[in-house]
Amino acid sequence: MFSKVQIGRRARRQFETLYKRIDAIAVTSHSASNGPDPYQPGGSVSTRQRRKIECLFREPSFESCDASVANALLEFLTYGNRQELARIRPLVLARRWQKKVHLVIDALVAATSCGILRLRWEIYCPVCKSASATRDSLCEVDEDHHCLVCRQDIRTDFSHAVELTFAPGEGCIRPDRQAYCRGGPAHARHVPLQMILPPDASRTIAIHLCEGNYQVRGVRLPICIDLHVDPELSSRRASFELKSEAISLSESSLSSGDVSLTFSNRHRHDVLVRLERVSADGRFDPDLLCAAQVATFDSFRNQFPKEIASLGHPIDIQSISFVVCEFVIDRSNVDRVSVERFGIEDYQRLQCELQRLRALFAKCGGTLMKSIGSEAVGVFMDESCAKKAAQQVIQQAGAGVGHRVTLATGPAILAAVEGRHEYFGETLARARSALGYQKVPGTVLEV
């Protein structure tokens, strides 16, 4: 009798209340991920914890953060889903809030310095595409690790498969760290399609694909096939023939939206087929923020100087932008001033310019890597941010100081050298050598 009341009347009232909350959020077009979770209407923290977090958000470390991003982070930490709070991914938040990545990193770093959050490094498994291990520091990441999900021994790819995430600090927020079905779709949001094809079978799937890069792959397939989805294209059908030695593809590019994919298995055994969304270089999760990207954010380097510097493995970067500036001192107004005195004034001007460049690069989403004499080098992961910074260097030059500026984008190597991180490769060398061809101060030379 008691169980009948519990399962019948009480459960019906609880479900009714829950669906009314979900309907209310849907009607107001308010995303549950940005505001109150319909399954947890009271938020993820208590009133006392909320007041503590709000107080910490008034700390001086948040003064340099973008106000709208800081407010979005405060709302997310207060009302966000407990499972998502256990693994905060910066690129996911940046896309959701439609903000620049460096602005989100600034806010997350500020929250970490106040003890609200703590950083973590997650080792990404390239086979099952999930976080197979977690470390508190980058220097603790081993060269080899064992994935508990796919049960394979994996060699760690420090260039693409070690991700920076954040988690709540002790005492502020109590997230839900339990893993509900590690093999479920919630842990593989980058996989829009997965199926098992019997031998000599074909299947056509109607699916909605967003713009981006995808790969067709499988554990027992010999190779991976790239598929590009672009809204400017017109083709909406593609066929994949899975053979023992290769995969034949009818169309390598499709239009975004509703498309039709046909898979034919020519093997003598079942084949697991996955369609995965990948990054621009065709590897891993596009929402993965790796160590090479983090090293270009000024706020992260200032708050955690030993993280990247302690890395014992060189990182191969597919694409990075360097802005090289050479200061040109205007000596036209020098009259009866000793060489020694003028040298001191030169030095003071250069120091002022370096401070200005450091702030300018940080504002544009990059960092001032180093300076050598009258030359300064800035690093950016986003080429558009690098171009914007290069133009602002020219436009906002200090009095009596001109600039020769070059910009180069391409691959590079990041490595720790004597406690600091340095970049190597042809791209940086090209940017620095081009200064010799930049004869006119006040312009940007792209090479």
Task: Pinpoint the residues of the chain covered by CATH 3.30.70.1230.
Answer: 314-446
Q: Which of 205, 218, 237 is nearest to 276 (CA)?
A: 218
Beta bridge partners, 210, equal none
d(Cα 385, Cα 394) in Å, to the nearest integer?
Answer: 15
Query: 79 φ, ψ to 5°?
Result: -115, 0
d(Cα 182, Cα 179) in Å, to the nearest integer?
Answer: 6
pLDDT for res 206: 92
Write down the pTM of the prediction. Answer: 0.71
pLDDT for res 32: 43
d(Cα 154, Cα 180) in Å, to the nearest integer?
Answer: 23
265-293 per-residue burial string, b: 16 or more CB within 10 A, e: under 16: bbbeeebebbbbbbbeeebbbebbbbbbb
Per-residue pLDDT of the chain (447 residues; tens, 9 = 90+): 555 555 566 777 777 776 776 666 555 544 444 555 555 554 566 778 788 888 888 888 888 899 999 999 988 888 877 778 888 999 989 988 988 899 999 999 999 988 889 999 988 877 666 777 788 888 888 777 777 777 777 777 777 778 899 988 876 777 666 666 655 666 666 788 888 899 889 999 999 988 888 888 877 777 788 888 988 888 899 998 888 777 777 778 889 889 999 999 988 888 888 888 877 655 567 788 888 888 888 888 888 887 776 666 788 888 899 999 887 766 554 444 444 454 677 677 778 888 888 888 888 888 888 888 778 899 998 888 999 998 888 887 765 567 788 999 999 988 877 777 888 999 999 998 888 877 767 778 888
**Which CATH number among 1.20.1280.260, 3.30.565.10, 1.20.990.10, 3.30.70.1230 corresponds to the domain 314-446?**
3.30.70.1230
Q: Is 381 exposed, middle or buried (0-12, 13-18, 19+ CB in 10 A)?
A: buried
d(Cα 101, Cα 293) in Å, to the nearest integer?
Answer: 10
pLDDT for res 90: 92
Contact between 201 and 273 under an 8 Å Cβ cutoff? The reply is: no
Long-range contacts of 144-150 (CB under 8 A, 24+ apart): 149/125, 149/182, 149/183, 150/125
d(Cα 76, Cα 36) in Å, to the nearest integer?
Answer: 8
pLDDT for res 409: 93
